[in-house]
Amino acid sequence: MVLCFCGKVDVVKTSWTPLNLGRRFFACPMNDSVRGFIGWLDPPMCARSKAIIPGLLRNLNSVQERCNELVRGMNMLQDQCNGLICKNNILVANVRALKDDNLKLKMYMFGSWFFFVIVFFYIWFV
Ligand SMILES: [Zn+2]
């Protein structure tokens, strides 16, 4: 624990500048990271780390951005799928209503033919 010049207990932050990428430092909790700098927590990085870490960070950011794009695309597909499911449910209800109407029409047709045959035989034979 380190005390700041203002008397507050410090906070540990991480530097994202190219020279000190990923290096942690003590900072004043009342100021931003530039003006609140108190001192380094981690030792300086070697030259090899300074060369490799920015490339790894760029790759990580591009992979993260691609992942975000895929999630957005997946959400759009999910919305389209939900819309299609809703339309399908409406069509299923319409087909069910048409089947009911079809059955009623068949019953009316059978009844009318049955009535016609009875009237015909009644007139013909009576
Ligand atoms: Zn301070």
The pLDDT of residue 3: 83
Using CA atoms, how far apart are residues 105 and 59, in angstroms rounded to an integer? 68
Across the 126 residues of the chain, what is the mean pLDDT of every consecutive 10-residue run?
A: 83 86 88 75 89 89 98 98 97 97 97 95 89
Same domain? 28 vs 67: no
The pLDDT of residue 68: 98
Q: How many angstroms is it from 2 CA to the middle of ligand 1? A: 11
* Protein residues placing their CB within 5 Å of the ion ligand 1: 4, 6, 8, 28, 30
Q: How many angstroms is it from 81 CA to the middle of ligand 1? A: 54
Same domain? 51 vs 27: no
Same domain? 36 vs 17: yes
Same domain? 99 vs 123: yes
Out of 11, 27, 45, pick the residue that ends a domain. Answer: 45
Specify the length of the chain in residues.
126
Domain count, the chain: 2
Q: How many angstroms is it from 54 CA to the middle of ligand 1? A: 30
CB atoms inside a 10 Å sphere around CB 28 = 22
**Domain enclosing residue 54, as ranges:** 46-126
The pLDDT of residue 32: 66
The pLDDT of residue 33: 52
